[in-house]
Amino acid sequence: MPPPYSILTDESPVLNRRESHLLRSFDELLHDFIIRGGPQPPEYSVLNRAIRHLGDSVRGGSLSQEEVSLYIQEVTEKHLQGTMQAEALAQKYGYSGDFEIIDHIYTRKTHSDPSLRLWDLYFHSQAAPVAVRNRKGYFQDLLQKHLEQHSGPEPLQVLNVASGPSRDVHEFYLNHPQANLQMDCVDMDAHAIAYAQRLCAPWTERLRFHHRNVLRFVPTRGYHLTWSAGLFDYLSDRLFIHVLKAMMSVTQPGGEVVVGNFSDFNPSRDYMELLGRWQLVHRSQETLLALAERAGAAPDQTEVQWEAEGVNYFLHIRC
Ligand SMILES: C[S@@+](CC[C@H](N)C(=O)[O-])C[C@H]1O[C@@H](n2cnc3c(N)ncnc32)[C@H](O)[C@@H]1O
């Protein structure tokens, strides 16, 4: 008999015997945590290992991704409503990584119900959300460095491609109220633009928001810094090169293009893909440098850096 909280029953029509066995042991572990109100920090490694084991089974072909997805969807709907995991699965705006969930990662949103809160703390402890929070600081440090190097009365011109919630921009102006910085923010989601405009309302004179698809349009002001995070890891190589070329073409000589991309070292990849249905194109340093070269950057113009977690790479191109 499966435990009373279990989703899987002996009559599960969609599972073959082998899948049923693999998922059932995961189901038992998960429901033990559900009964106890979620994993405590010392237990994270047990659950992380079990998720990686699921990932290995999918990669090895002994379990289908569809069955895992179906199972996770059912468990989440039944037991984890309102958690960050449920929010990731719901794709409220029609795609993974929308401005709202990204902002909930930045602000470490947790459920008010104590019996669900531990699940959100577990979500926020994963390497991927930590790396997302780190990239906010990375962008802010980059802005500060460029401001320090910038001379003359004209403002530093920055282009922010796929700007999402603009929490990073909001915090930067809050901490640098006098910053001589003008920024163009582009995003294709009208909800993201409206949200960011509200968040950044005190600094509208130094900000311009463009509701556009960057595959078709980038503003052409002539920028000292063009930045994008959370976009390139959703793009094929062809589109990566297309958008990178566009960013390079609107950056002034002596300026810098910096684009973020999740690295091929992401310990929470199985968690994202299997429990959050959140797929990214993970890229190695070599791949990023090769794509930069195909976009027209000379090798001595480019380098790859990363945030403290090592999960988010940043391709830097000196123009
Ligand atoms: C993961 S969020 C990243 C937001 C922000 N850069 C950050 O790091 O906080 C991705 C954003 O990219 C936007 N986006 C995706 N494809 C786009 C495109 N082709 N043109 C413009 N924006 C796009 C989405 O609407 C979303 O707001």
Span 83-99, pLDDT tens digits: 999 999 999 999 999 99
pLDDT of residue 28: 92
Closest ligand 1 atom to residue 97 Cα is 1
Select from 99, 167, 238, 312 the residue to mutate for testing ligand 1; criterion: most ligand atoms less than 8 Å from CB.
Answer: 99
Q: Is the pLDDT of residue 13 over 50?
A: no
User: Could you tell me the domains of the chain?
Assistant: 17-125 (no CATH), 129-318 (3.40.50.150)
CA–CA separation, 241 and 245 (whole Å): 6
Closest ligand 1 atom to residue 160 Cα is 6
- Residue 107 near ligand 1, beta carbon < 6 Å: no
CA–CA separation, 30 and 33 (whole Å): 5
Mean pLDDT, rounded, for 92-120 = 95
- Residue 105 near ligand 1, beta carbon < 6 Å: no
Distance 209 CA to ligand 1 centre (A): 13
Distance 61 CA to ligand 1 centre (A): 33
Instruction: Read off the pLDDT band of 5 (50, 70, 90).
Output: low
Distance 187 CA to ligand 1 centre (A): 6
Q: Is the pLDDT of residue 19 over 70?
A: no
> 7-16, 140-149, 281-290: which has the minimum mean pLDDT?
7-16
Q: Using H for helix, E for strand and C for coil, what is the string for 219-264?
A: CCCCEEEEEECCCHHHCCHHHHHHHHHHHHHCEEEEEEEEEEEEEC
Q: Is the pLDDT of residue 249 over 50?
A: yes
> 1-5, 39-43, 230-234, 301-305: which has the minimum mean pLDDT?
1-5
pLDDT of residue 6: 55
- Residue 214 near ligand 1, beta carbon < 6 Å: yes
- Residue 187 near ligand 1, beta carbon < 6 Å: yes
- Residue 235 near ligand 1, beta carbon < 6 Å: no
Q: Is the pLDDT of residue 4 over 80?
A: no
pLDDT of residue 14: 46
Mean pLDDT, rounded, for 70-80 = 93
183-235 pLDDT, tens digit per residue, is 999 999 999 999 999 999 999 999 999 999 999 988 888 999 999 999 999 99
> 66-75, 282-291, 294-303: which has the minimum mean pLDDT?
66-75
134-174 pLDDT, tens digit per residue, is 999 999 999 999 999 998 899 999 999 999 999 999 999 99
Distance 230 CA to ligand 1 centre (A): 6
Select from 132, 187, 216, 247 the residue to mutate for testing ligand 1; criterion: most ligand atoms less than 8 Å from CB.
Answer: 187
pLDDT of residue 16: 53
Q: Which residue has the tokens 């349009």?
A: 217
Q: Is the pLDDT of residue 178 over 70?
A: yes
Distance 237 CA to ligand 1 centre (A): 17
CA–CA separation, 285 and 299 (whole Å): 13
Atom 25, ligand 1: residue with shortest CA distance: 189
269-278 pLDDT, tens digit per residue, is 999 999 989 9
What integer best gives the mean pLDDT of the chain?
A: 93
